[in-house]
A and B are shown apart, each in its own frame.
Chain A
């Protein structure tokens, strides 16, 4: 890796301290041989990495015995791709570094590095206020557009499903954003509260016949209650430990749901959960139904349209409550807690209550989303609430830029919507063969995306912060001045 180091050194030095002349004297022009050598090395590493796991595939024959067959062509593909990619990347950065070395010093010290570093976030910063309006408009107009494009309500069903799915994740993202983004408490067990909400509705409606509209607030209250119960023991913990304990709690709740047959019907879950009603009017074709009461012709899609607008409303409520809370003392305390817990304590902020309110509120919105999930699905089982789900919600918050509301919404659309669309791109099948299922690669790309995000844009898509309270002009704060997660 020595080549790599000597190569990055001038680049780094030029960016960090452009006027520092010693770095310039040390730097040399980067030649083709070192790039080739480095690319070859990377390709060699990939070759070794893929030797057993990619080159040989295990399979079972008719007698259930394992055998291996080789796929060296695939390894060749990976190695070649690595070489080409590495070569191009190094060439480009070497070209830039060499150009910078050749350029007069003033220019180096002046604009170039700064402009490169911030241009991306500037653009995002500018579009942010517009994006919020655009997002809400698009979300409201989405069913109309989908219906108009596909021709009828019935044929737009797929799009309604997708819209509801995305909005559910938007809501979960916004709920978790309170805990992770604002209060800076990394919660890896958020899905537990989603589960509490879902099971609250499922159990209350099937056992006591309560309607969704009574269960929705109850589910929120129960989840908030669980948020406090689980939040209480972990008040003293910080950072990684807090994350791991929340993960443990999330898993405990799931395992209890799996194993406690009498309570939750175990792994099979609870089915035939009552469907949603229009504030009491069922979506049925009969006389007392929604369509008959309003003089419409019955269409089973009415229920989907209603569900869509319901989750949109719930999500927007989450958003509005969060935005309003940020300006209240408790919201400001959350953000102060995120920045520096010790300083918070020194300034007399009650960290216990601050943390518990964040947990409880985040959990409450998770509970709302959970009971919505149960009423939409008509079936809940512990499998829907595994760790992967928590990781996906966390990824949405992280990708969105922790604390940014619109960022979370964009991230949810990208992370949940994009893989769904990928599934429908049939031309990929013609490229990669019939058995190619893009959905299989969804989570692989997902994991890579999380790593790439941390490496390249650790602050997420929208990294600037709106100050919650200002005197005079509001101005975005660059991510460089925000240090969340150090607490």
Chain B
């Protein structure tokens, strides 16, 4: 829409932007996917955990740069990331402990309603404690690299995009290793397949479920920090829409499947940026909601998910 340059250049540029956005969605989507995989509930509050983690990252960043006087952005970001992940994980654990664990064995909609309650609480808690206004910070990193230039249209990649994609890749590799190779991950996968059998084999199921929430919140915290790097602004209402988009990503990729969640996140990110570029930007959220509805109705097992067989 009104952008100079050939179609290929615009396409490549949007590809880069879309992958950046998609990395963030993918990180959040894993939290939805894992929780749904293990206890079959939609953790409606996950988007707000992401929002909370962005606030935590913002405050930590301000503390680290102004009070501790660390001037190196890389070091500051690293510290923020570590502590942000730890503190947000604790929030994830506390939420599971207080709002979801007592409901195990209750009727089916109880956890979802409880999760909606947590979501409302978190959003308004952030508003009450931090104020209703947007919280902008100056850009942390400003570097932009020109990849190639043609007909006056430059395709660029910025420092922050590199940071976001690289961090996502590193964190996901680490996470993949934990899930595939460690006893923790094995217990997690076992509970996902059959909770009762896992319990009989001596796995502490409650602890494993709590751990799932901790992992989910930790990844959401990485996403929250990346969101702060990308946009440089946080607001208490930032949880809802990214949360829904990440959930869409999880469903699209096949809920319960971790590679699916990442794949879904990337696809949703790409769809959003391409939609904004080629169609009406005002309707980009409508597009996401439509994809969500269509995927849930017509292919509820997603791209990489296993079909859900109902036993009577």
Contact = CB atoms under 8 A, between A and B. Distances in A.
A88 interface: no
Given A245-B297, A455-B102, A483-B107, A53 B52 contact: yes
Nearest to B106: A458
B312 interface: yes
B117 A454 contact: yes
B296 interface: yes
Contact of B293 (A249, A256, A391, A398): A249
B62 A57 contact: no
Contacts of B124: 441, 443-444, 446-447
Interface string B291-307: 01100110010000000
A63 to B, nearest CB: 11
Interface in A193-250: 233-234, 236-237, 239-241, 243-245, 247-249
A194 B290 CA distance: 21
B103 A241 contact: no
Contact of A244 (B42, B56, B122, B129): B42
A330 B310 CA distance: 26
A451 B114 CA distance: 5
Nearest to B288: A248
B99 interface: yes
Interface string A43-61: 0010011011110111110
Contacts of A252: 286, 289-290, 293
Contact of B59 (A53, A440, A444): A53
A449 interface: yes
- Main secondary structure, interface of A, reads helix
A485 B91 contact: no
A256 B62 CA distance: 38
Chain A interface residue bracket vs B = 35 or more
Contacts of A444: 121, 124-125, 128
A320 interface: no
A304 to B, nearest CB: 31
B198 interface: no
A66 B87 contact: no
Contacts of B136: 64, 66
A59 B247 contact: no
A388 interface: yes
Contacts of B312: 342
A52 B83 CA distance: 10
Given A244-B296, A485-B108, A58 B117 contact: no
Contact of A58 (B62, B296, B297): B62
B120 interface: yes
A62 interface: no
A57 B132 CA distance: 12
A180 B117 CA distance: 17
A65 B53 CA distance: 21
Contact of B296 (A56, A64, A237, A486): A237
B130 A45 contact: no
A356 to B, nearest CB: 15
Interface in B104-146: 106-114, 116-131, 133, 135-138
A419 to B, nearest CB: 12
B54 to A, nearest CB: 11
B42 A240 contact: yes
B108 A486 contact: yes
A52 B130 CA distance: 10
Contacts of A30: none
A383 interface: no
Contacts of B244: 247-248, 251
Contact of A447 (B121, B138, B240): B121
Contacts of A58: 58-59, 62, 130-131, 135
A52 B108 contact: no
Nearest to B95: A451
Contacts of B131: 57-59
Contacts of A188: 116
B306 to A, nearest CB: 16
Contact of B106 (A49, A251, A454): A454
B110 A451 contact: no
A56 B90 contact: no
Contacts of A239: 108-109, 112
A5 to B, nearest CB: 9
14 contacts: A48-B90, A53-B59, A240-B112, A248-B244, A249-B289, A255-B286, A440-B128, A444-B128, A446-B124, A447-B117, A447-B118, A447-B123, A451-B114, A458-B107
Given A244-B42, A447-B123, 8 more contacts: A54-B129, A68-B66, A186-B109, A443-B123, A451-B118, A454-B106, A455-B99, A484-B107
Interface of A: 1, 45, 48-49, 51-54, 56-60, 64-68, 186, 188, 233-234, 236-237, 239-241, 243-245, 247-249, 251-252, 255-256, 258-259, 342, 387-388, 391, 394-395, 398, 440-441, 443-444, 446-451, 453-455, 458, 483-487
